[in-house]
Chain A
Amino acid sequence: MTDQTTEAADGIPSPDGAAHIIETDYEIGQDNFEGSVGPFGFDIHNPVFAISGLAIVAFVFYTLALPEQAGAVFSWLFGTVTKGFDWFFLGSANIFVIFCLFLIVSPFGSVRLGGSEATPDYTYVGWFAMLFAAGMGIGLMFYGVSEPLSHFASSMGGTSVENGVRTDWAPLGAAAGNEAEAARLGMAATIFHWGLHPWAIYAVVALALALFSYNKGLPLTIRSAFYPIFGDAVWGWVGHVIDILAVFATLFGLATSLGFGATQANAGLNELFGIAVGSSTEVILISVITAIALVSVLRGLDGGVKVLSEINMGLAFALLLFVLLAGPTLFLLALFWDSLLAYLEYLPALSNPIGREDVNFSQGWTSFYWAWWISWSPFVGMFIARVSRGRSVREFIICVLLIPSMVCVLWMSVFGGTAMHQVIADGYTVAQEATLELKLFKMLDVMPLAGITSLIGIVLVIVFFVTSSDSGSLVIDTITAGGKVDAPVPQRAFWCIFEGAVAIVLLLSAGGLQSLQSMVISTGLPFTVVLLLMCYAILRGLISERKAT
């Protein structure tokens, strides 16, 4: 009798060293229901799959049947959440950043995800490509040019006050008429929304899930992070509700982005090739994106999602390099450092949660962004956790928090900087005046090889949507299978198609996408509480881990 273990491809060799496994009588998959629909097998977590699936269908019907009422309800909810709880979002996001920075320097940083001897599942390049593509890829394409320009313009406009309340949208005290300072403030405000804070939000969720799954032996699903707080009750309704909320936020978040993304890609295609703007083109785009995502999920994590993410990162880097070299290179390089310094300089004021005078900016921009990142965090966090086994906590936080933040600084400086330079130095204001989805293309328009770079831009937009859609389907499938990652393949195909179908239905209904986006963002509020509890759970988990090793 001999025994041996090997690894598949670049798998993880066993043994993985000391880890503190939580003792629980819960057996993963014990609440699951296995069977088949015709020839297709399934293995689903009973309450979570059924309730989230039915609730999603019910919500879609509600927004279709009573669009005006649904629109009013959700936009009221959205306004109440982002305006009434701005202090809570801003304060909590600060806590997440401080918590992550503390973990880097604390002795907990040496704890390794997957046990003291675990080795990483993926190379740095593959890992980074995947976490970046899932995390914010698409936003960079649209906001890279538009957000710095918006803040620059509003800062230049200065402040205006009516009845003692600021009515302008400028960040902080604005920089009326001062071009250089308005550019600095514009860059600082943009980087603030794309830098440390969003990545800290993702890092908290991802770390909690990875720690409780790989080191504590609990299923890879959101509820596991609450074991230190709720104990075995987490396998009951408390956990069901948490998981259902996560499925909900993920599916609607993806469907609404897919819907908006199709409208934006359509605008780009219209600009380049004159393809008609309309719902039939958008439905075709969503179908194509869903079909590519379907192929990707069916090829699996390594054969599909990772490959596409790497292609994506390569293309994005090529476009970045092109704009940097073809644009005002020296200006952009100087701007990169200057933006970084401006970000650090304005960071305390921008992140201050109370007594803000720039209410439109802090509620309409910052609070909105924080709610948005938080509502996306179950999806992105869970995906990052899935691919981060074998990293130490310190390495994990540095790579999930600091490096993506730096990439965002670079990206925003190059794209936003080029657009601002066009306005300041060349007096070219077409990009500034264009609609959101066209700004990037209008900026590329006056640079060399515009046809090719715009085409790369559209391809990037589409591939970024595919990488969100396929990783999202994997995440929803795992949550609705009670944390099992080996549920039958048709199940993930179901979620991928379902997500595309929801996006198409909402796109065809008037205001359906807007009202559901408002709802998704509103889920950011309960999830903020969930994230704060996760910080506590992570600390508890890391303390027991340190004792075990």
Chain B
Amino acid sequence: MFQKIVVPVDLAHEAVLQKTLTVAAEMARLYQAAICFVGVASASPGPVARTPEDYAKKLRAFAEAQAATHGVTTEAHAIQSHDPAVEMNKALERAVTELGADLVVMQSHVPNVADYIWAGHGAHVAAHSRASVFLVRD
């Protein structure tokens, strides 16, 4: 049913992603789909990596580790953004299309009053993507 699952990840908050990663891996096994981990980062040094090259390397290592843990096929896709705090939604939306994904599994907070002003990343992707979207509430 699904061939390619995109899983957006924030490597700075890996610990809270566990539920999402498990769901994604189980879906991948069920449908023999490949997982593509997508990360959006600025070119400026950040907590995860100090250069864009380093960031791509860390995302790759993360994908490899996930492949080993869950026995699924994984890819890594690093996106650079001038202003990730704002451009995240559009960047993810574009990546889902460009990568030809048919399912997105992503972490999403329980909506609150702030979502009336700033829609969460998950809500945005679900509203704009042609792919199916599975939001995992934390």
* A164 within 8 Å of B (CB atoms): no
- What's the minimum C-beta distance from A93 to chain B, rounded to whole angstroms? 29
- What's the minimum C-beta distance from B68 to chain A, rounded to whole angstroms? 10
B45 close to A213 (CB less than 8 A)? yes
* A121 within 8 Å of B (CB atoms): yes
Stretch at the interface among A14-22, A141-149, A336-344, A400-408: A14-22
Question: CB within 8 A of A38: which of B56, B63, B94, B113?
Answer: B113
A1 close to B43 (CB less than 8 A)? no
Task: List residues of chain B with CB within 8 A of the CB of A330.
Answer: none
- What's the minimum C-beta distance from B131 to chain A, rounded to whole angstroms? 17
Once the chains are docked, how many angstroms separate the CA of A2 from the CA of B114? 38
* A198 within 8 Å of B (CB atoms): no
- What's the minimum C-beta distance from B97 to chain A, rounded to whole angstroms? 12
A302 close to B52 (CB less than 8 A)? no
B87 close to A300 (CB less than 8 A)? yes
Interface size class of B (residues with CB under 8 A): 35 or more
- Which A-chain residue is minimally distant from B116 (CB atoms)? A39
Stretch at the interface among A47-55, A479-487, A513-521: A479-487
Stretch at the interface among B24-32, B69-77, B100-108: B69-77
Once the chains are docked, how many angstroms separate the CA of A298 from the CA of B119? 12
Once the chains are docked, how many angstroms separate the CA of A218 from the CA of B75? 29
Interface string of A85-99 (1 = CB under 8 A from B): 000000000000000
A8 close to B44 (CB less than 8 A)? no
Interface string of A204-240 (1 = CB under 8 A from B): 0000000001100111100000000000000000000
B50 close to A12 (CB less than 8 A)? no
- Which B-chain residue is minimally distant from A24 (CB atoms)? B50
Once the chains are docked, how many angstroms separate the CA of A78 from the CA of B35? 62
Q: Which of A3, A6, A39, A115 has the most C-beta atoms of chain B within 10 angstroms of its own C-beta?
A: A3
* A540 within 8 Å of B (CB atoms): no
Question: CB within 8 A of B85: which of A27, A386, A488?
Answer: A488
B85 close to A485 (CB less than 8 A)? yes
* A109 within 8 Å of B (CB atoms): no
Q: Which of A1, A19, A298, A492 has the most C-beta atoms of chain B within 10 angstroms of its own C-beta?
A: A1
With A16-B53, A300-B87 known as contacts, the answer to whether A11 contacts B45 (CB < 8 A) is no
Q: Which of B52, B53, B67, B95 has the most C-beta atoms of chain A within 10 angstroms of its own C-beta?
A: B52
- Which A-chain residue is minimally distant from B56 (CB atoms)? A5
Task: List residues of chain A with CB within 8 A of the CB of B41.
Answer: 486
Once the chains are docked, how many angstroms separate the CA of A1 from the CA of B71? 11
B75 close to A1 (CB less than 8 A)? yes
Q: Which of B42, B54, B76 has the most C-beta atoms of chain A within 10 angstroms of its own C-beta?
A: B42
- Which B-chain residue is minimally distant from A220 (CB atoms)? B44
* A162 within 8 Å of B (CB atoms): no
With A1-B67, A39-B113, A114-B43 known as contacts, the answer to whether A7 contacts B86 (CB < 8 A) is no
* B82 within 8 Å of A (CB atoms): yes
Task: List residues of chain A with CB within 8 A of the CB of B87.
Answer: 8-9, 300, 302-303
Task: List residues of chain A with CB within 8 A of the CB of B136.
Answer: none
* B91 within 8 Å of A (CB atoms): yes
B82 close to A11 (CB less than 8 A)? yes
- What's the minimum C-beta distance from B132 to chain A, rounded to whole angstroms? 22
Task: List residues of chain A with CB within 8 A of the CB of B47.
Answer: 27-30, 484
B42 close to A217 (CB less than 8 A)? no
With A114-B43, A300-B87, A302-B87 known as contacts, the answer to whether A11 contacts B98 (CB < 8 A) is no
Task: List residues of chain A with CB within 8 A of the CB of B76.
Answer: 3-4
B94 close to A218 (CB less than 8 A)? no
A299 close to B86 (CB less than 8 A)? yes
Task: List residues of chain B with CB within 8 A of the CB of A386.
Answer: 44
With A16-B52, A487-B85 known as contacts, the answer to whether A8 contacts B79 (CB < 8 A) is yes
Of the A-B pairs whose beta carbons lie under 8 Å apart in the complex, a sample of 16, sorted by A's number, is A1-B73, A1-B74, A8-B40, A11-B43, A30-B47, A121-B43, A217-B45, A298-B86, A300-B82, A300-B87, A386-B44, A484-B47, A485-B44, A486-B84, A489-B85, A490-B118
* Further 18 A-B residue pairs, CB within 8 A, beyond A3-B60, A16-B53, A218-B45: A2-B75, A6-B78, A12-B52, A14-B53, A14-B78, A14-B80, A28-B50, A40-B114, A115-B51, A115-B53, A121-B43, A121-B82, A219-B45, A298-B86, A298-B118, A300-B85, A483-B45, A489-B85
Footprint of A on B, CB under 8 Å? 12, 40-47, 50-54, 56, 59-60, 63-64, 67, 73-87, 90-91, 94-95, 98, 112-115, 118
Top 5 closest A-B pairs, CB basis? A300-B86, A217-B50, A39-B114, A29-B47, A301-B83
